[in-house]
Structure 1
Amino acid sequence: MTENTEHTPEKPEDLASEAEAAATENAAQASEQPSEDALAAAQAEIAELKDKLLRAVAETENLRRRAEKERQDASNYAVTAFARDLLAVGDNLRRALESLPEGAEENESFKALVEGVEMTERELLNNFEKHGIRKVDPMGEKFDHNLHQAMFEVPNSGEEDGTIIQVMQVGYTLKERLLRPAMVGVAKGGSGEKQEHVDTTA
């Protein structure tokens, strides 16, 4: 008996299924391979969004630093007005000690008073130091307009031009800021070098 090798035609529903599968596969391949224009547009959008993100992060960091500096300044310099008022107390204590007659420390009537005033002055200066208030006593230093206020100039003093030769009132700084300039007298033309003009009108 001869075996029938004739090809059996596929059923219509099989052909339809194969066509649908092929169409689905082609669509998937097409979706996985976007056009060059779409890819370029997507990359440009990504770059733009990244730039905006970096700018936003940088701006946020700048705001944070600014706020931190303002907070720190408020903490450091909130007592500026109060500290200036206390400087007058220190000045008066020093004047009281300097106005005592010579030998007053040896006089029993004055001894306790002198010791009390000296202790008060030391305690005040120690508290100044504790809170970042430092004395500026520039005797013998070069004049610095950031720290000193020249009240007068002394010609032919024998000192180098611009050297502070007299301190009439010490100055003070609070942290990194000038609280009060030192009031000074400055040598002028003492060394024979080129004279440096010091503004005494401030």
Structure 2
Amino acid sequence: MSEAQQTPETGTEETAAQAQPQPDPFEVIVALQAEVANYKDQALRALAEAENTRRRAERDREDASKYAVSGFARDLLSVADNLRRALDAVPPSEDETVKALVTGVEATERELLAIFERRSLTRIEPMGQIFDPNLHEAVFEVPNTGQPTGTVVQVLQSGYRIHDRLLRPAMVGVAKGEAGAQVNTSA
């Protein structure tokens, strides 16, 4: 190394700084603008992600409040089924005790169905409708019904929805048409 580079008194640091090429101010501005654009893009993406997370959390909260009772409601469906079976099994009678019992069971069923309705639990009534695998569970086929193939001709167990979700599919028997007979889907 030369003496001029080693001694600070001679001002060689300034000479060394002047010897390095100076960046073009235009290039510095362009680089800084690109960096600003990059940071702006990152900030916008972070804001969008935060908004998406907020919306997702809100939707999850709404779903939780709407469908939180699904398990409990599903358990109560068997109670509704049994009340209906009990009413269907009682033969017509003139006995006042039997009439009072039937009246009490009917009132209990009405109250339970009213509670279901208040909680947006609705019964699926598939009788006479075309079989829909999203709402119905076909248990058997019934031949020679005079109905188009795939029409629900018997309901073994009612189905239910809670709000817009299926809680339990309806268990049904569907018509088995003659060979070549098809369901009319133009309705």
TM-score above 0.5:
yes
TM-score, scaled to structure 2:
0.80
Deviation at 1:194, TM superposition (A): 4.2
Equivalent residue, structure 2, for 1:114: 102
Please identify runs of 4+ aligned residues in structure 1 that moved more than 6 A: none
Could you say what the CA RMSD is over the residues aligned between the two structures, in angstroms? 1.9
Deviations 1:45-83 (A, max 9, x none): 121111101110111111111111211121112111111
Letter matched to residue 62 of structure 1: N
| Long gaps (5+) in structure 2 | 1-23
Cα distance in 1, alignment partners of residues 107 and 25 from structure 2: 88
Would the aligned equivalents of 2:147 and 2:175 in 1 still touch at CA under 8 Å? yes
Deviation at 1:86, TM superposition (A): 0.8
How many equivalent residue pairs?
161
> Compared with structure 1, are the counterparts of its residues 190 and 134 closer, same or farther at alpha carbon in structure 2 (3 Å cutoff)?
farther
**Does 2:80 match 1:99?**
no
Corresponding residue to 2:32 among 37, 42, 45: 42
Corresponding residue to 2:61 among 71, 78, 97: 71
Deviation at 1:148, TM superposition (A): 0.5
CA radius of gyration, larger in: 1
Deviation at 1:192, TM superposition (A): 4.4
Deviation at 1:156, TM superposition (A): 2.8
Cα distance in 1, alignment partners of residues 123 and 98 from structure 2: 28
Residues 47-196 of structure 1 correspond to what in structure 2 (within 5 A)? 47-101=37-91, 103-104=92-93, 106-190=94-178, 192-194=180-182
| Long gaps (5+) in structure 1 | 1-33, 196-202
The percent identity for this pair of structures is 59
TM-score, scaled to structure 1:
0.74
